[in-house]
Amino acid sequence: MTQRIDPYSCRSTRASAAVWLRLAAQGENLMERQTNGPANMVCEEGALELAESKNMKPYMSLTIAMIQGRDVATALKEIASLPLEERYVWRIASALKWALVDFNTTSLRADIKSLPPADLAKVRQLVKNRAAQFRLFLSELYSVDEADKMLGENRG
């Protein structure tokens, strides 16, 4: 049985700017395929390098197949054969672990109070969209309801 994924479900919140840049470079007319897509996206520093890294090739193949409306079975099979430590989800989870393993508010507050305003603005800009990305990560990894619970967003 051929497994198909709806290419139109791949909105800008789920596909990195680097993937879209790569597809555009290959001549894909993305604006015809998706009206709510990457027109306003900005490619962050390092995003293209990550998207073109060896470990992202299977995911790139999957995304290209989805957008071009081709069969995704081969790409999914390749992803399924990857060890956990080479998977996209592991890259995110392990980065979060190492970023927050020794988190403490005392050190954070000391930096916030002692940083020059321009440097604090840089830090704030760097993390500005990370909360939304983290919420999407949790929503996909668990469910929207579980993400809401984990983030204390209980809706009555």
| Assigned domain for 99 exists | no
Lookup result for tokens 């983030």: 151
Number of domains observed in the structure of the chain: 2
Residue 21 has pLDDT above 60, yes or no: no
pLDDT tier at 53, thresholds 50, 70, 90:
confident
Q: Is there a single domain that holds both residue 54 and residue 125?
A: no
* Predicted model pTM: 0.69
| Assigned domain for 96 exists | no
Q: Is there a single domain that holds both residue 151 and residue 116?
A: yes
Domain that residue 136 falls in: 104-156
Q: Is there a single domain that holds both residue 71 and residue 140?
A: no
Q: Of 33, 49, 82, which residue sits at a domain end?
A: 82
Closest to 64 in 3D by CA, of 10, 137, 141: 10
Q: In this predicted structure, what is the pLDDT of residue 153?
A: 72
Q: Is there a single domain that holds both residue 51 and residue 123?
A: no
Mean pLDDT, range 38-52, rounded to an integer: 66
Q: In this predicted structure, what is the pLDDT of residue 64?
A: 85
Q: In this predicted structure, what is the pLDDT of residue 97?
A: 95
Q: In the Cβ-directed half-sphere of 24, how many Cα atoms lie within 13 Å?
A: 16
Distances (CA, A) of 137 to 34, 130, 134: 22, 10, 5
Q: Is there a single domain that holds both residue 66 and residue 125?
A: no
| Assigned domain for 70 exists | yes
Q: Is there a single domain that holds both residue 3 and residue 76?
A: yes
| Assigned domain for 125 exists | yes
Residue 49 has pLDDT above 90, yes or no: no
Mean of per-residue pLDDT scores for the chain: 78
| Assigned domain for 35 exists | yes
pLDDT tier at 26, thresholds 50, 70, 90:
low
Mean pLDDT, range 119-138, rounded to an integer: 92
Q: Tokens for 95?
A: 């980065």
| Assigned domain for 88 exists | no
Q: At what angle do helices 130-141 and 88-100 cross, to 10 degrees?
A: 130
pLDDT tier at 155, thresholds 50, 70, 90:
low
143 phi and psi angles, rounded to 5 deg: -165, 170
